[in-house]
Structure 1
């Protein structure tokens, strides 16, 4: 295996093969997400916003963490991690725009039980908090713009904000779930053990694919004489890793809209941005 990915062609083949596994797992996960909404009574919107968004964001989380850990220099790893997270958010918004163009008849606010206006505003708010901390600690001009302020405060602020957001969304969807009648499907009739075992297996595939994408992406940053492409870490994080780890969102959104679950598609994309 190592000899195969030692060449640029083999490395690129392994990268796209891993991305394909993530895509296929994402397709199945969208189907299981609908069944999970029927089983729990939470509805497609909340399942997309919380569960699917969390699962499809696992590649971003794993890629960013392993990029920092495995990078030969901390600055390079942090650059790759930041580029991956922010690049994925931009790509996720492009997904919504692409779906609106592809399905103009279905992608209308009137067709949604929840227009996800709050989710959009929350995502902008959390990105603003990150931007303030990131710029405040920037030392490229000889010192931090705001002395004493570091990105570490995000470790406390963002999880609290995210938890409060999910709590509010849960209350809002709880009032609407009585209006939604669960539909009997083959997946809803499965035993709890078989259903949740398959669900965990799909999540594991996405998580494992995210780890492998991180390792392959780091290798792509190596010079050509070492089997890489000689690309900068920031380009890898923004282009290859961000697009590949956003493929589950793209696939789930496409499949959800095709099945008529616009709430789940929008909730998945917007929730993933908040998770990032």
Structure 2
């Protein structure tokens, strides 16, 4: 029992540190980027998307260093399923979503393509260093393409509600740097605690590391996306709700797995074809809504939620 209590403390402490670390990192990075003259839309598409993927990145890198490839891959696959099936499902269930942004409409087919590419790469359930480097090159191309697209938009389209350019002063600049450093350090400790607790939990109950990564770890690292998407849905800004999920999933595939695979080859022991096809399936289900401009209504939100519950039921041992 004392060992279980310690594991619970490690996992809970890790999740809390990841939540606050991600919040501080995004807060510091966004205001610092605005201070340095980057446009609000570029900041929203790059800095915020990257910031909300940092928990997944650090957890997967920590797992890769410890040769726990099942946690690293399970974290990304589980997060991508959770982001669409649970987070968008909940958002649509409470407040139906309609996509208007041309950037978001372009990114959903791109996400479907990236997800299919990942399924092909994981045919052998392994990510090599070369494949990791390839994925990182893909995310560089994606960010560069977004920046070029934004530069062709009008100043009015370049605005994001609630993201104002701050007044430049030395005091606020140092505060932003402080938040940035504090967020990175906190995330580092949080990732270490969460992976340590997850590995010990798998060992005690005889569960695979992949199962822990697909469920507990992915749910924990998906907290920033859940908070952002639900808040966006309640504030009736559906583009932000869907854009946050789509951007996060793209960064998970190309940035998180790219950097983790570059650190150490990832062996996806415990990952199954079902996990990959569920991830691909829920992504493809988004395409009709985005292409036709239809509303993602409560019925479809409930369908996504039912898929996620069914997936968890399939995963968890009796």
Distance 1:183 1:239 in 2: 33
SS at match of 1:176: coil
Give the CA deviation at 1:182.
Answer: 8.0
Distance 1:266 1:36 in 2: 25
Paired residue for 1:143?
none
How many residues end up aligned between the 2 structures? Answer: 246
Please point out which of 20, 23, 35 is paired with 2:19: 23
2:40 aligned with 1:43 = yes
2:166 aligned with 1:169 = no
Deviation track 1:102-149 (CA, whole Å, cap 9, x = no partner) reads 233xx3224xx44512222222222222221221x469xxxxxxxxxx
Distance 2:154 2:183 in 1: 26
Give the CA deviation at 1:201.
Answer: 2.1
Paired residue for 2:244?
268
Structure 1 moving runs of 4+ over 6 Å: 182-187
Structure 2 unaligned blocks of 5 or more: 253-318
Structure label with greater radius of gyration: 1
Contact 1:32 1:187 in 2 (8 A): no
Please point out which of 58, 77, 81 is paired with 2:72: 81
Question: Does the C-alpha gap of structure 1 residues 200 and 176 become closer, same or farther in structure 2, counting only changes over 3 Å?
Answer: farther
2:99 aligned with 1:109 = yes
2:14 aligned with 1:9 = no
Contact 1:67 1:78 in 2 (8 A): yes
Distance 1:36 1:167 in 2: 20
Distance 1:163 1:88 in 2: 21
Contact 1:116 1:266 in 2 (8 A): yes
Deviation track 1:46-103 (CA, whole Å, cap 9, x = no partner) reads 43432122222222222222223325xxxxx222221111111111113122212223
Deviation track 1:162-187 (CA, whole Å, cap 9, x = no partner) reads 22221111112223361146889898
Contact 2:31 2:176 in 1 (8 A): no
Contact 1:15 1:213 in 2 (8 A): yes
Contact 1:59 1:206 in 2 (8 A): yes
2:50 aligned with 1:54 = yes
Distance 1:218 1:211 in 2: 11
SS at match of 1:250: helix
Question: Does the C-alpha gap of structure 1 residues 133 and 185 become closer, same or farther in structure 2, counting only changes over 3 Å?
Answer: closer
Structure 1 unaligned blocks of 5 or more: 72-76, 140-149, 224-228
Paired residue for 1:91?
82
Distance 2:105 2:246 in 1: 10
User: TM-score, normalization: structure 2?
Assistant: 0.65
Distance 2:25 2:43 in 1: 11
Distance 2:144 2:199 in 1: 37
Contact 2:32 2:177 in 1 (8 A): no
Distance 1:264 1:117 in 2: 12
User: TM-score, normalization: structure 1?
Assistant: 0.74
Give the CA deviation at 1:7.
Answer: 2.0
